[in-house]
Structure 1
Amino acid sequence: MFGSPVDFSFKELNTIPDILSDMPNPGARPLKRDSEQKFLSRTLRINNNFISDFSGLTDTISALFAEPTGLAWLDLSFNEIRHIDPVLTQLKELRLLYLHGNCICKLSEVDKLAVLPSLNTITLHGNPIVTEPDYRAHLIASLPHVKMIDFSAVTKQERQLTSVWQRGRNQRKSTGHSKVD
């Protein structure tokens, strides 16, 4: 679908730029490169490392990929990420984003991704935000193009229920009333 993934998982990386001083894991199919030795892939796996932020993401992707703006699949699962950096909004072709198993605590962090027109799959399970009330409804409302959340399809019924939930939430906000727990 996106060519062989460029896989830097389980490398004990602390920062994203650390990738540049390492070699990707071998895959089932060899990685293809262009004449500048940049990868001809649309998939980057940096899962199961110790990355806590997105510093250097843009420069690293530009150094690695022949078409950095065409990155479609980014796996940052099982790291130590606490915040979703707006730098991800520059990846307009991003379709799959794996962030499960991190340390994201606030639902509002997800709202930053609403500007990604192609994002249709996201994973966030294993983050503290999954314990927030209306977690899934918030994601569906915030990310209108998403078809899969945490490996589970978003159904037509869920979209309808989320629409009702969102109208009620907006009404409470506009009248100054909020739900009392």
Structure 2
Amino acid sequence: MKKIALIAAVALALPLAAMAQDAAKPAAKPAAKAASSSTAKAPAKKHQVTRKAAKAVEEVTPINTDTDVTLSEADLAVAQRVSIGKAQCELGADVTVTPDDKKPGFFTVSTKGAKYRMHPVESRTGAIRLEDPRAGAMWLQLGNKSMLMNQKAGLRLADECQTDAQVAFAAEMKKNPPKALFDGADGEKK
């Protein structure tokens, strides 16, 4: 019986002791802060770079053209199919894809405030895929549209982008839609 009473008393005392310790801690911290603030200088004010200034610097900073990527013959064949020039995108954005004259198979992909040095990467789906592994950017080009994505941040930077050739391809798809996956040779659904 004495053991049960002792256990009950300890069980009741433990939460009270913990609350007493927690109450004592905040009182000690302000005193420590007051003592340290009288001897230390105020921290220097940090200057933040505005988004506009960062964009301006990014636009004039040349992209790094040195790369350790070696393209295969298959990669160079994919590079021949890349749609180059200015692509108009949704929401008034645009993306310009320019081939590198000095290094065949490499491209500069630029949009408002950003430039990427990209090269073709094999795609299982047959889509044309350009990547900038350093920046984490990817340009995905289909027959009728393209998109620019930042894979590191998981964002689409530009969507529904179309060059003149892709606009023509999309119009042709509307006139002559491709056969559905389950259509037979005669167009009948199976």
Identify the structure with the greater strand proportion. Answer: 2
TM-score (structure 1 length as normaliser):
0.26
Q: Return the structure number with greater relative CO, CA threshold 8 A, min gap 6.
A: 1
Larger radius of gyration: 2
